[in-house]
Amino acid sequence: MRLSGRGVRCVRGGREVFSGLDFEASAGEALAVIGPNGSGKTSLLRLIAGLLAAAGGSIGLEGGEGELTLPEQAHYLGHRDALKPALSVVENLAFWRDFLGGEAFPIAESLAAVGLDHAAQLPAAFLSAGQRRRLSIARLLTARRPIWLLDEPTNALDTAGQAMFAALMADHLAGGGLIIAATHTPLGIAARELRIGGAS
């Protein structure tokens, strides 16, 4: 599996954010997207996830699941945690499992993997910022998708949470997954760098 972009151009609100961007990542590889605030890191992830249309160039996937589109094979973990506050931790995860389709890890195992098993019945509204992020990460485990698009994924995680997530990312790569992560801080895994918009 290989994800690549050629000459990608991004325009937001009528203003060019970047153009002529080339990148590629293969199964088992992580790409860290690095650049100053406003350089287009989130926009690039959203272009790959199919949530924004490119103003030029192309983004393609070779060797994935032939019948599925690139967005259908990707998890997008954005700045917002995409949780329903009135639903419990378990119910939120069940929602995402049903919405995304399929199940990789059972919900209880996903929650244990991110250290939230003790909070399973708690409404998401009561979670701390770091716990909300951990619940979002559990979504990556509950529904199996080979491409993880992560926007500053370690935000709000404590040191133990960062180590936990680094181990989950390493497992994902070892299993043939692919990660593209926008970040201002080291991810804790080996990653090639894709710099946009000058030095950060």
Q: 58 vs 185, which CB is nearer to ligand ATP?
A: 185
17 three-state secondary structure? strand
Whether 25 and 178 have beta carbons less than 8 Å apart is answered as yes
Closest separation in Å from C-beta 176 to ligand ATP: 27
Among 7, 16, 22, 38, binds ligand ATP (CB under 6 A): 38
Cβ closest to ligand ATP, residue 51 vs residue 170: 51
Burial tier of 103 (Cβ tally within 10 Å: 0-12, 13-18, 19+): middle
Position among 5, 40, 78, 146 found at the interface with ligand ATP (CB under 6 A): 40
Under the criterion CB under 6 A, does residue 37 sit at the interface with ligand ATP? yes
Closest to 96 in 3D by CA, of 42, 55, 137, 64: 137
d(CA 49, CA 136): 17
Please, which of residues 62-121 interact with ligand ATP by CB under 6 A?
none
* Contacts to ligand ATP by CB under 6 A: 12-13, 17, 35, 37-43, 182
